[in-house]
A and B are shown apart, each in its own frame.
Chain A
Amino acid sequence: MAVVESSEDGLVVALRGLLGADAVSNEEAERRAYASDMWPRHQIWKMGPTPVRHRPLCVARPTTEGQIQAVVRACRAANAPLIPYGAGSGVCGGTMPIRPRSVVLDVRRLDRLVSLDDLDLTVTAEAGIHGMLFEEELLARGYTLGHYPSSILCSTLGGWLAARSAGQQSSKYGKIEDMVVSLRAVLPDGDVVETGSGQPVDWTQILVGSEGTLGVVTRATLRVHVRPEAQVFRGFRFRTVDEGLHALRRIMQAGLSPHVARLYDPFDTMLHSSSKSGSPAEEAGRTATGPMSALRDLFSAPVAEVKRRAPKAAIALALSVPGVLARLVEALPATCLLILGFDGTRSDAERDLEAATKLALAGGGIDGGSGPGERWLAHRHAVSFKQSALFDAGAFVDTMEVSAPWSRVLEVYRGVRAAVSPHAFVMAHMSHAYREGCSLYFTFAGYKGDAAGLERLYDRVWAEGLTAVIRCGGSISHHHGVGLSKRDAMRREHGAGLRLLYSMKDVLDPSGLMNPGKVLPDRAVEG
């Protein structure tokens, strides 16, 4: 066991006394493992001379809510920051231990499905329950939460609630904040609060999205649905993003509730190419050579294939000229793919798909059959595990998920592309559609020859991208949360409304020990 100097810290000793020696670790390997989540900026650090810039004092693994209370109180007594941690799949640096002597509180040992209420159609589960195991247990009992984030294989219920997660079926089932009925949380003073109806203030919606800055969620009650009997898919191709958006909006506002609704821009559509499809854009995507081919492989091929087919030089060349690449993509005979899916009883699903198909065809869509949707379904969780290929090549890739009302969506799409394209290659899809608007999910990749330059480029892309989002009338995050990466943009997101959020922080966590430095920007700068 590689014990470091921090083993002498009295807090570590105290926590071991509370939880048992096996439940508190300050091994160097563990401290490094919990040094970050999946924030791509941290991946860039790994390319440079200082791969790990922050490490927690230790990692605590309680098994009960009472133990969480004890840890919270011990940290408070020791004036040590506490960072609630799920499975570490966040991409905004939300669990990074940026303050000295931070204790990471890994809640994954609180992993029980507590109860299922067949009358109210609700489930109660502990915060550390693993996403896929939770859903599989519900499916086995004849229910579904309907929450399938692409991180479902590496995330927890607590993490979903902390960051206001959205699943791929949110157009029908809603985001996690729509599903949650009530929750229990350990507050920064160690007390437990139970939220729910009957209270004048909706504390549930204050704690949800707080990313561990107001307390530690220990369990939640959520709405479930009877496991759908069937799901049916249909793909459509549109000539332009505008045309596709128009059709998607009409479908959502007709009162239809597709469980899957995804519209891809031309390059993102190209990534869905397969040997069985034959649109001009997809054909062009398959036969592209040189930098375009490297870029396509970069985003879509398995890691091993990327290394074989897209050598670093080709990737560097492709991403060094993002503006040229953008023009190349725009020159492709482009189409935009819309995938729609409906679930429920077979008759309900087929009836709704027929109604949606009529609207899509009336909006200029070309029927692509069930293939695109079925292919998407087969690979729906693959994205989260593809990042390393690009970082191996010395580049970065990241995603920016924002949202806007329908009247602003196209403006946000164009505004972000215009802001980011000079610096990085960018593509997008629109998913998580609602009656009033939708999410825009930008994927961007950039390259510089050295880690320091890459980090500067990364920061510039984010700064200009978020500025464009706000200028065009969007919100800076739809479902990844704020963490560190969007913290400073919160001023422009909320304006004076930030004072309401500060007031909650002051009331619940006056010592500022709960996940400090996240979500809310520094008030000293605020003035």
Chain B
Amino acid sequence: MAPPVTDASALTDLTRDYTREIREATSFPQALELGLGKGRLAPGETLSARSVAEVCITLAAASRFGGHVRLGPAQGPDEVGLRLDALVGITDVDPTSGLVRAEAGVTVSSLEARLADAGLTLGAALLATPEARIGAAIAAGAWPGAAMRLEAVLPDGTPLCTPLAPRRATGPDPDALLHGLNDRLAVLVAAVLRLDPRAQQSRVEHVKGPPSALLEAMRVLLRDHRLDVELSATSDGQELTVEVSGDDARFDTGLALLASLRAVGAVSVTGGLPAPPLGRTEVAGWRRLQSRVAAGGPVWLHRIGRHGAWLRPGPQGAIDDPWLAQARAALDPGAVLRHDDAPLRRRKGRAT
């Protein structure tokens, strides 16, 4: 089997000591200068990191000298701002395994363009937000299960990679402490994403109709049968628009689904679905989907399957979980990392 196409020079070197450049420093400004180069970054300024190494060095310098790093523009003289938009490396395309490693600043659309030559695609659910950046989307809780590995930098500047395996049984899943946590425990810098084969010729159909009836028709069909098509939908509170897409040569199951939907009042429409909001995505069962659609307001559904779908917008609010706060205190005792977003709240408290 062909090995993955790799630009090794751009990969995170987990064995490297990113603090070696700042070993001789005696202050935060000096550490930034020694690590990143003269004039590149000073307290009160914002760095657009060009490599994962720069993220590691910035955090290590702050951690060692009591500085702070804000993910976003700097807001005070005791901190530096850190932006990841310039981390745009696509360093590992593995067509054999259907995987790609992309850095945090890569957009969905640019990654999809790069994958075309390899005959691969990110799939409709990710392509629904073409301008989304990989790191921000995963940190915000979008795309559950879409990444097979996450790469992040701990608040003291240490880089980490979660294991690269299709499935594993090596303890709790560390990805769960990175996905959707808005970089609370570590700064997400890259991800290895799962890909689908790109269809030779794809077909897309849209129908629109009463939300509850269409959802029920999809549930009933999916309960017993497998479909070779991908299903997405959006509701504006009044009507549900369903998108059926897939390989033209294997669209027969899609046609069966469309027939079921038309039988309960769906009519064909043209045009695509509007882009969903980027953010937390809930993996929801059918009861939850029905109740959310019935409640009105816009909702987006992707990867509709036998047991439900991705539901967006997902739970709002954010991370003010007491356990998470304790874990954060242990991993970041100097409170190096600062965030702009509002604290999150846990929806369900403990029962006793």
Contacts and interface: CB of A to CB of B under 8 A. Distances in A.
Contacts of A181: 285
Interface string A405-449: 111111000000000000000000000101111110000000000
Interface centre among A200, A407, A506 (most CB of B within 10 A): A200
Interface stretch (B74-82, B104-112, B178-186, B268-276): B178-186
Contacts of B162: 494, 497
Contact of B170 (A196, A223, A404, A494): A494
A500 B283 CA distance: 24
Residue among B160, B172, B181, B288 having the largest count of chain A Cβ atoms under 10 Å: B172
A163 interface: yes
Contacts of A386: none
A496 interface: yes
A210 B180 contact: no
Nearest to B289: A120
A367 B14 CA distance: 46
B176 A501 contact: no
A193 B174 CA distance: 19
Interface residues of A, number: 92
A245 B96 CA distance: 11
A202 interface: yes
Interface stretch (A34-42, A127-135, A469-477): A469-477
Interface string B335-352: 000000000101110111
Nearest to A162: B169
Contacts of A207: 172
Interface string B311-325: 000010111010110
B161 A209 contact: no
A344 B223 CA distance: 11
Given A435-B98, A481-B169, A507 B284 contact: no
A478 interface: yes
A206 B224 contact: no
A108 interface: no
Contact of B1 (A211, A409, A520): A409
B94 A407 contact: yes
Contacts of B285: 117, 119-122, 181
Contacts of B2: 407
Nearest to A410: B1
B306 A209 contact: no
A490 B165 contact: no
A192 interface: yes
B223 A209 contact: no
A489 to B, nearest CB: 9
B351 A436 contact: no
A283 B224 CA distance: 42
Contacts of A493: 163, 170
Given A120-B307, A199-B346, A497 B174 contact: yes
Contacts of B99: 405, 436
Interface string B146-169: 001000001000111111111111
Contacts of B185: 500, 503
Contacts of A117: 285, 287
A519 B173 CA distance: 12
Q: Give the most central of B194, B282, B323: most A CB within 10 Å.
A: B323
B327 A223 contact: no
A255 B121 CA distance: 14
Nearest to B327: A503
21 contacts: A120-B285, A121-B223, A121-B307, A164-B168, A193-B350, A196-B348, A201-B176, A202-B173, A203-B176, A206-B172, A206-B176, A254-B197, A435-B194, A436-B97, A475-B164, A477-B168, A494-B170, A497-B174, A499-B158, A504-B177, A506-B326
